[in-house]
Amino acid sequence: MSMSLDHVFNPKSIAMIGASASFGKWGQMIFSNIVAGGFPGKIYPVNPRERSIFGIPVYQRVQDLPEPADLAIITTPADTVLSVLEDCGQRGIKTAVVVTSGFSETGAEGRALENKLVTVCREKGIVLVGPNTMGILSIHSGLFATGAHTRPRPGSVAFISQSGNLGIQLIHWAEEQGVGVSLFAGSGNEAMVTCSDYLQYVADDFQSRIIILYLESMREGRRFFETVKQINRTKPIIVLKGGRTEAGRAASASHTGSMSGEVTVFRAACRQAGLLEAKVPSELLDLSAGFSSLPLPRGNRVGIVTLGGGWGVVTSDECNEKGLAVPALSEKIIKAIDRHLPSFWSKGNPVDLVGTRDPEAPLVAVEEMLRSDDIDAVISLGIVGRIEYLRLMNRSSKEVDKTIPPGFLEQTETLLLEYEEKYIARTAELMEQYEKPVIGVSLAKTSGGTVRPVAGRHHSSVLYETPESAVHVLAKMVEYQNFLGRE
C-alpha cells in the first residue's frame, strides 16, 4: 500500500473532479490552490456544467480525460462519490483523494456508504485517501491541494494529521515560523489508507527526516507501534494524542468517525517505541523547528549564555527541572571569556554578558562552550532580538532630540541588524563544526520567525520566544538521543 502512495505525493497528472469557479466551494478552493501553487504536471478539471475554469479546458466526464491521471481529487457531493470512483476505475485512475465529507463521521448510514467506497476501490484497484480529508501537500513536488492556501518552505518535516483543521493550522504556523515542510497528509476517516501506511511511505521518503503526528485513534494498534518503533530509530516521530479526556474522546468520535483508545496504554507504548509525546499543538511546532534544524546533543550538559542575569537564573531552573545539567565552567573557558567581559562578570555558568558592548563576547562564549568536552549544548539568550528595542528607543529619541544628525538612527539599526545576521550565520557554522546544538531565545518577538536558514549550511539557527520553550525542546532532543543509545 505504501508504495502506491507515490502517486499521492508525486503525481505527474491530476484529475480535479468537481472543479469549480464558484468562490468558496471546495472545488474552487482546492483547484485554485493547485493552479496558483504552480503544480508542474498536467491538470484535468472535470465538471459537466463548465467549459473552462481559470483558463484551463474542463472535461465533462471522467471518461473524457485524454489519459488516466495519476491522482484524482474528488470534491463532489457525498451521494455522487461512489459513481465517480467507479468512473475513475474504468478510466484507469489508481489513486483518489476524497475531500468530501458525509461518511462514517455522520453515523451508521454514512458508515455504510463509506464501506461501499472501499469495496469499489478494492475491486478497481484504487488507493483511497480519506474521505473527509482537508487534502494533501507535497512541497517538493509543487503540489498544494488543500482548502487552505498556505505555502511553507520546502524542508524535512512531514505532517500527518487525523484532523484536517488542526493540521492545516500547524502548516500555516510552520510557514510563519520558517519551519521547512516536506509533505502534509490529512488522513480523514482513513477508510482505506491508515496512519501506518503514511508512516511507511514517509520512512522511505528521503525528503522527510522528521515526522509530526496528530492522532485521535489508530487501527491495527500492534502494526502501528511496530511501524513507529522501526522508523523512530532513524527519523524522530513526535506525536500529539487527541482524546486524552472524556470530553476529547466524545469530540473525536463526532468529527472523524473514530473512537479513541485508552490513553494510558497509548503512552506506555509511546515510551517503549521511543516516540516523543507533545501535549499541545504549539509544542509540535517548537519540536519540529528544533529537530529539523539542529544537531542532536550527545548528552544533557548545557552551557548558557545570557544578555541578562534573570534569564540565566530561570533557564538554569528549567534545565534542572527537565533533567538537564548546568555544569561549572573550566578555567580554560573562563580565561578565554574573561578577555571580553568586565572583571566583575560571574565567571560561571550561566555566562552573564553583563551588558558588554564588546561585539565578540557572545560568540566567544558560545564557541568556547561548544569546544569544551564538558558541554553538550548551548542555550543563547537575548543576543538576537535587540533590534526591536533599539527601534523603540530610536522612535523616542527622534521625538525629543531634534539635534540628531539625519540618517544616524537608521544607521544604528542597520549596524545592529548586520550584527544579528552575522551572529545567526556564525552559530550555524559553529554547529556544523562541533556538531552540537545552539538553541536561541530572542530578546523580543521578531518578524523573522523561529527558524533562520543560513545559505550553504546544513543546520539552521533556531530562536524561540521563551527560555522554557528552548529548554523543553533541548530536553526532548536529549530524550530522543537517550532512546537511540538504548536501542
Band of the pLDDT at 243, cuts 50, 70, 90? low
- Give me the phi and psi of 97, to 5 degrees please: -105, 115
Check: CB of residue 253 under 8 Å from CB of residue 279.
no
Please provide the CATH number assigned to the domain covering 1-149. Answer: 3.40.50.720
Tell me the pLDDT tens digit for each residue of 49-107.
999 999 999 999 999 999 999 999 999 999 999 999 999 999 999 999 999 999 999 99
Which pLDDT value is given to residue 246?
Answer: 56
The residues, any chain, with a CB within 8 Å of residue 16's CB and separated by 6 or more, are 27, 30, 31, 34, 43, 44, 45, 46, 73, 75
C-alpha cell, 280:
499541545
Band of the pLDDT at 248, cuts 50, 70, 90? very low
pLDDT of residue 294 exceeding 80, the answer is yes
Determine how β-strand 135-138 pairs with β-strand 143-146: antiparallel
Which pLDDT value is given to residue 255?
Answer: 45
Which pLDDT value is given to residue 446?
Answer: 79
Which pLDDT value is given to residue 329?
Answer: 95
Band of the pLDDT at 3, cuts 50, 70, 90? very low
The residues, any chain, with a CB within 8 Å of residue 204's CB and separated by 6 or more, are 2
The fold adopted by the segment(s) 294-486 is: Rossmann fold (3.40.50)
pLDDT of residue 261 exceeding 90, the answer is no
Distance of alpha carbon 302 from alpha carbon 427, whole angstroms: 16
Q: What is the mean pLDDT of the chain?
A: 93
Lowest mean pLDDT among 82-91, 315-324, 411-420, 443-452: 443-452
Tell me the pLDDT tens digit for each residue of 422-450.
999 999 999 999 999 999 999 988 788 99
The residues, any chain, with a CB within 8 Å of residue 84's CB and separated by 6 or more, are 17, 62, 72, 74, 76
The residues, any chain, with a CB within 8 Å of residue 332's CB and separated by 6 or more, are 368, 372
Which pLDDT value is given to residue 2?
Answer: 44
Determine how β-strand 181-186 pairs with β-strand 127-129: unpaired
Go through 155-169 and write b for each residue having 16 or more CB atoms within 10 A of its CB, e for each that does not.
bbbbbbbbbbebbbb
The residues, any chain, with a CB within 8 Å of residue 365's CB and separated by 6 or more, are 305, 337, 340, 351, 353
**Three-class SS of residue 244?**
coil
Judge if 155-241+262-293 and 294-486 fold alike in CATH terms. yes
Tell me the pLDDT tens digit for each residue of 170-182.
999 999 999 999 9
Lowest mean pLDDT among 71-80, 126-135, 143-152, 248-257: 248-257
Q: Which runs of consecutive H residues, i.e. helices, occur in 372-466?
A: 386-400, 408-434
Check: CB of residue 251 under 8 Å from CB of residue 217.
no
Name which of 288, 467, 285, 455 is nearest 380 in CA terms.
Answer: 467
- Respond yes or no on whether the N-terminal peptide bond of residue 350 is cis (omega within 30° of 0): yes
Check: CB of residue 214 under 8 Å from CB of residue 162.
yes
Domain boundaries, the chain: 1-149, 155-241+262-293, 294-486
Distance of alpha carbon 292 from alpha carbon 316, whole angstroms: 25
Q: Which residues pair with 78 in a beta bridge?
A: none
Q: Dmax of the chain from CA atoms?
A: 82
Name which of 116, 119, 121, 74 is nearest 94 in CA terms.
Answer: 121
Tell me the pLDDT tens digit for each residue of 366-387.
999 999 999 999 999 999 999 9
DSSP code at position 444: S
Give the rounded percent of residues in the chain with a pLDDT score beyond 70: 95
Distance of alpha carbon 229 from alpha carbon 241, whole angstroms: 17
What's the mean pLDDT in 205-216?
Answer: 96
Tell me the pLDDT tens digit for each residue of 328-361.
999 999 999 999 998 889 899 999 998 778 889 9
**Cα dihedral across residues 4, 8, 13, 14: positive or negative:** positive
The fold adopted by the segment(s) 155-241+262-293 is: Rossmann fold (3.40.50)
Place of cell 527601534: 391
